[in-house]
Structure 1
Amino acid sequence: MQTDSVEITTLENGFRIASDRMDSVETVSLGIWVGIGTRHEAAAENGVSHLLEHMAFKGTERRSARDIAVEIENVGGVLNAYTGREQTAYYAKVLSDDVPLALDLIADILQHSTFDAEELERERGVIIQEIGQAEDTPDDIVFDHFQETAFPGQSMGRPVLGKAEIIAELKSDAIAGYMRSRYRPGNMVLSAAGRIEHERLVDMAMKAFDHLPPGGNAATDPARYQGGELRLARELEQAHIVLGFDGIGVHDPDYYASAVLSQLFGGGMSSRLFQEVREKRGLVYGIHSFASAWSDAGLFGIYAGTGEKEAAELMPIVCDELLKLPQDISDEEIRRASAQLKAGILMSREKTSARCEQLAAQILIHGRFITPAEIVAKVDAVTGADLARVARRLIASTPTLTTMGPVGNVMDLASLQERLKL
């Protein structure tokens, strides 16, 4: 199948190989995206996806951890990875002539990692420090608490980094077993963007990925948004506040309307929240809205960092601005928010890394490549009536409120719900 510069090949075992050719560049970004993340973990192994991502770089049957680092840097390339709630990625960026090396490295770490016990002891210490650092960063960790409050007792609500006490106990065989049972051809995509020939990529991939266990997608429990309140009193200079609602998933017909609404409400300096809360009233240094979306769930929320004294005034204003959304959205605001979204999408197309990642994510989520023109058309199709409907839908759900710091002046959940009645 070919769409403009994009070609996709699916092998008999379900492994998908996708490329986006860019003849104007000298580099290639490529990697494996696996449809496995934190929400596929059992409670007793929370953090294993992230620990596995780290351990994949710590040695294989034919390369030490140092060998992996030296080989990619010998050609001036970079090799990295990340873990999300529904995906884990292992990717590289190299000059086009060095694609065979990058592909061999990625294939090696995903099929022949040894999970050496000594390396594991060192790396678990690194991750426990990473967890501690996140705990010491309130404007970061407050989002983990927000996620857990929105989806309590569920894999969707657990932290990507995991719990330190669980990480401390995970053994090599458990990590290796998790990889064997979860990393299957049917939920993996090899994606590349840049100066690359698709047929050559397919030939190399078929030879490199010859030790993947058979199988397809991994099942997970459906996400069940609940909402609620968590207040964590800490001696901090600012109160960190996240207020959110049951949002919209990537397959929902209102997905693009939700994205436009978030941009309009708190996505930039011209947005309603920034203008009303920061520019007009000076109540915060930072405030923004967000629309997070997964396969079967979403979260729409607002983050603000404010002083203890200002917190009392802040939340009623945020509530009032939310209540205005279903009844007062101008065509000018819609055009501006849509233009910002479209510009972000099209500007990102100038980077091989962004095109590679977008292509992989679209195939994992939708099973196909979605062209920029199709995305732009869907953004342009969003109307004021769509935004009003989505705003009412969001506000009607049970709120999730998470606060950290000097939280005494922050409005509680019951008061918020009373104030947000449409």
Structure 2
Amino acid sequence: MNHHFVREKRIDITRLANGLTVATEPMPEIATATLGVWIGAGSRHEQAHEHGLSHLIEHMAFKGTERRSARRIAEDIENVGGDINAATSVESTSYTARVLGENADLALDVLGDILTASLFDPVELAREKGVILQEYAAVEDTPDDLVYDAFMETAFPGQAIGRPILGTPDTIARFDGETIRAFLAREYAPGKMVVAAAGDVDHGQIVELAERSFGAIPAVPLREPEPGIYRGGERRIARRLEQANIVLGLPGLSFKDQGYYATHLFAHILGGGLTSRLWHEVRETRGLAYSIEAFHWPFSDCGLFGVGAGTAGKDVAELMEVTLACMRKATEDIGEAEMIRAKAQMKVALLTALETPGGRLERIARQLLSWGRIIPSEEIVQKVDALTVEQVREAGRCLLQGAPTLAAIGPLKGLPPLADIAQALRP
């Protein structure tokens, strides 16, 4: 056992009366403080008429509050050398700031201000809608991004979990301040909010600041999103492009599923690095694609496994044939050397993520939202180390039994029918 995995730093956790969780991880060797607020609400928590609202709220958080203009929000952080950011995902939204430790109080005050007192001024709202529409147009003009949106929509049709995070021009145009406030009151519940800080921080101070900024938010019943139900199918978008962008997928596992780590290792061995099977066969041996990847996206109640690549129109048929053969073969003959390498790469990825305050902050927040506790690195490593070759092969065989999802954009003449792909996946 590499003892780096068991040298966990101290993490202090306090829950406020309204249910909000405060967690800190002091890092004595770090002079900066990274602070954030994570909310267990993202695009899959939107109703149909709210499609894209989580992302718009993230943008609007920086556009002015009762105490600060948009300019002053940026100045208050940047005047002390800090930076501030936000991100929206399928299942969560985060707002983070990094400053010197001595300015942690300022950073958390700004974060509290934007999350509890934003004005959602109609002029700023109209302007930001325009910005998001430009972002939407950029995706539409980028086939290797658009294909993944089409992939998710096809895997989970008619469901919030499958809808693109950005929304659509129609839904974006209808949003107003009232819609935003209703979503915040319903989904930004303190029971699924985590205030986390790492670096040069003091737990008592952060708890006091969090109480001041967020303690008055009323506790409300927690609302679970609709379960994600994988369906599968295909979406082919023929376009006059130089390349065909193709994503082939299958139902994956939740990160809470017992087989998650075996499935993750299977994906990594298949297409997770320069020594992976797909990279070696598709890129290095045959030159069919500039890059190819296999991935496993886990959610709280479901997951999605897939392979994505771009290739010339004339090579589509061969790319699919080789990819399908690699997927089948991996379920039969993954070896011990590949397992050792994949396990080592997973451990390095785990440690690397914990080498910065931002990485530790994200680990704390995500695990508390998902599990209600911090999972020690040692526990994760033990589960990975315990995996056998046969367990990873079996994880692959289980994946390949699922109904496939296919999304493709570009010159697609050589792309085989979905029924043929499904048949070719059977070991």
Per the TM alignment, residue 412 of structure 1 is displaced from its structure 2 partner at its CA by 2.2
Cα contact 2:38–2:93 (8 A) shared by 1? yes
* 1:198-237 equivalent positions in 2, closer than 5 A: 198-237=203-242
2:164 alignment partner in structure 1: 159
Q: Measure the CA separation in 2 of the matches of 1:103 and 1:330.
A: 49
Q: Could you tell me which of 305, 319, 323 is aligned with 2:328?
A: 323
Q: Measure the CA separation in 1 of the matches of 2:221 and 2:86.
A: 22
What number of residue pairs does the alignment pair up? 420
Per the TM alignment, residue 349 of structure 1 is displaced from its structure 2 partner at its CA by 1.1
Q: Could you tell me which of 241, 246, 254 is aligned with 1:249?
A: 254
What is the CA deviation profile of residues 369-415 of structure 1, one whole-angstrom value per residue up to 9, with x for unaligned ones? 01111111111111111111111110000000000011111122111
* 1:16-415 equivalent positions in 2, closer than 5 A: 16-415=21-420
Q: What secondary structure, in the 3-state scheme, does the structure 1 residue paired with 2:137 have?
A: helix
Per the TM alignment, residue 177 of structure 1 is displaced from its structure 2 partner at its CA by 1.4
Per the TM alignment, residue 421 of structure 1 is displaced from its structure 2 partner at its CA by 2.0
What is the letter of the counterpart of residue 119 of structure 2?
T
Q: What secondary structure, in the 3-state scheme, does the structure 1 residue paired with 2:407 have?
A: strand
Q: Measure the CA separation in 1 of the matches of 2:285 and 2:363.
A: 37
Q: Measure the CA separation in 2 of the matches of 1:193 and 1:353.
A: 7
What is the CA deviation profile of residues 334-374 of structure 1, one whole-angstrom value per residue up to 9, with x for unaligned ones? 01011111101101211111110111000001111011111
Cα contact 1:244–1:399 (8 A) shared by 2? yes
What is the letter of the counterpart of residue 6 of structure 1?
I
What is the letter of the counterpart of residue 173 of structure 2?
A
Q: Measure the CA separation in 1 of the matches of 2:261 and 2:195.
A: 27
Cα contact 2:18–2:218 (8 A) shared by 1? no
Residues 200-209 or 47-56, more deviating:
200-209
1:216/1:91 CA distance change after superposition, 3 Å: farther
Cα contact 2:17–2:215 (8 A) shared by 1? no
Q: Measure the CA separation in 2 of the matches of 1:216 and 1:93.
A: 32
Per the TM alignment, residue 216 of structure 1 is displaced from its structure 2 partner at its CA by 4.4
Cα contact 2:132–2:166 (8 A) shared by 1? yes
Q: Measure the CA separation in 1 of the matches of 2:283 and 2:9.
A: 44
Q: Measure the CA separation in 1 of the matches of 2:353 and 2:46.
A: 32
Q: What secondary structure, in the 3-state scheme, does the structure 2 residue paired with 1:327 have?
A: helix
Per the TM alignment, residue 164 of structure 1 is displaced from its structure 2 partner at its CA by 1.3
Cα contact 2:99–2:107 (8 A) shared by 1? yes
Q: Measure the CA separation in 2 of the matches of 1:50 and 1:362.
A: 22
Please, which runs of 5 or more residues in structure 2 have no aligned partner? 1-7
What is the letter of the counterpart of residue 75 of structure 2?
V
What is the CA deviation profile of residues 293-332 of structure 1, one whole-angstrom value per residue up to 9, with x for unaligned ones? 0000100100000000111101011111111122101100
Per the TM alignment, residue 159 of structure 1 is displaced from its structure 2 partner at its CA by 0.6
Per the TM alignment, residue 62 of structure 1 is displaced from its structure 2 partner at its CA by 0.8
What is the letter of the counterpart of residue 50 of structure 2?
E
Q: Measure the CA separation in 2 of the matches of 1:82 and 1:262.
A: 26
What is the letter of the counterpart of residue 137 of structure 2?
G
Q: Measure the CA separation in 2 of the matches of 1:404 and 1:171.
A: 34
Q: What secondary structure, in the 3-state scheme, does the structure 1 residue paired with 2:275 have?
A: coil
Q: Measure the CA separation in 2 of the matches of 1:341 and 1:262.
A: 12
Per the TM alignment, residue 217 of structure 1 is displaced from its structure 2 partner at its CA by 2.5
Q: Measure the CA separation in 1 of the matches of 2:236 and 2:47.
A: 26
Residues 385-394 or 96-105, more deviating:
385-394
Cα contact 1:14–1:186 (8 A) shared by 2? yes
Q: What secondary structure, in the 3-state scheme, does the structure 2 residue paired with 1:265 have?
A: helix
Cα contact 2:250–2:400 (8 A) shared by 1? yes
Q: What secondary structure, in the 3-state scheme, does the structure 1 residue paired with 2:332 have?
A: coil
Moved over 2 A (4+): none
Q: Measure the CA separation in 2 of the matches of 1:31 and 1:177.
A: 23
Q: What secondary structure, in the 3-state scheme, does the structure 1 residue paired with 2:196 have?
A: strand
Please, which runs of 5 or more residues in structure 1 have no aligned partner? none
2:3 alignment partner in structure 1: none
Q: Measure the CA separation in 1 of the matches of 2:96 and 2:228.
A: 28
Q: Measure the CA separation in 2 of the matches of 1:205 and 1:414.
A: 55
Cα contact 1:247–1:291 (8 A) shared by 2? yes
Q: Measure the CA separation in 1 of the matches of 2:221 and 2:108.
A: 22
Give me the TM-score of the superposition, normalised by structure 1.
Answer: 0.98
Cα contact 2:120–2:177 (8 A) shared by 1? yes
1:5 alignment partner in structure 2: 10
Q: Measure the CA separation in 1 of the matches of 2:24 and 2:213.
A: 16
Q: Measure the CA separation in 1 of the matches of 2:163 and 2:353.
A: 30
